Amino acid sequence: MPPYLSHEALVNGAEPAKPTVAETRLTVPPLFKAEPALVLFEFSSIARGMVAADAMVKRSAVELIHTGTVQPGRYLVLLGGEVAEVEEAMKAGKSVGGTAIEDVIWLPGVHPDVMVALHPANQAPRTPSTEQDALGIVETRTAPAAIHAGDIAIKGAQIHLLSIRISDGLGGKGLVLLTGLVSDVEAALELIRNRLDSLTLLQSEVISQLHPDFVQNIVGPTRFFRS
């Protein structure tokens, strides 16, 4: 079994030098790869989430475990690796997590672009096409729902995932930004609306053509106070 990697170790530990713009769009830092299968648990209880995370890694030799607390007082557990191993670990998580499971998403064939958009080291660069394309905005109640929405969009339509933000700074919500031709963005959002229930999908909107002065506000970090 690979070593247990804590949230702090992944976020603050030694990682490769920051990639170039081209590399950022195509790669995920090794410590954050979660293919071909991914499961993300969101627990309402931090204590129960920790117990469940321990049970999951004891049950199965997953290739990645990334855990940590997020707003508002929840605990996320991300597992990645081979389908059979991750599925077995997920069963343990559900058994131990019980009623403390706020939400969970199981993606046995997660699209690699989802992890690129999710990793905080990847900041979507400004490109000439961004100002001409439409912007799709998806707001979810939970972190797993945001990852699910991103996976649905990239698999079902010709769009580019700009970013997937979850939990911290969002009051526990998820935020997915995607770009492409208006028709493709609208198709992606329609797929998301059909797949996510009304309890997890809070809002989905389309801006048909971004104003040039607004582009810099949606690429990279979207928090109000940012460098």
Residue 185: predicted pLDDT? 95
Q: What pLDDT does residue 217 have?
A: 73
* Same domain, residue pair 34 and 128: no
Instruction: Identify whether 225 is part of a domain.
Output: no
CA distance 138 to 147: 11
**Rounded to the nearest 5°, which phi and psi values hold at 167?**
65, -80
Q: Which domain holds residue 69?
A: 7-110
How many folded domains does the chain comprise? 2
Q: Residue 170: inside a domain, yes or no?
A: yes
pLDDT tens, residue order, the chain (227 aa):
444 344 344 344 444 444 333 333 444 455 456 668 999 999 999 999 999 999 999 999 888 888 999 989 999 999 999 999 999 999 999 999 999 999 999 999 889 888 888 775 554 444 545 555 899 999 999 999 999 999 999 999 999 998 898 887 788 899 999 999 999 999 999 999 999 998 899 999 999 987 777 877 776 666 666 55
One domain for residues 133 and 70: no
Question: pTM, whole model, 2 decimals?
Answer: 0.78
Asked, for residue 13, whether it belongs to a domain, the answer is yes
Same domain, 75 and 145: no
Picking from 44, 78, 110, the residue at the C-terminal end of a domain is 110
Among the candidates 110, 127, 147, a domain finishes at 110
pLDDT of residue 215: 76
Residues 118 and 210 in one domain: yes
List, in order, residues 6 or more apart from 188 with CB less than 8 Å away: 136, 152, 153, 156, 157, 159, 178, 180
CATH number for position 20: 3.30.70.1710
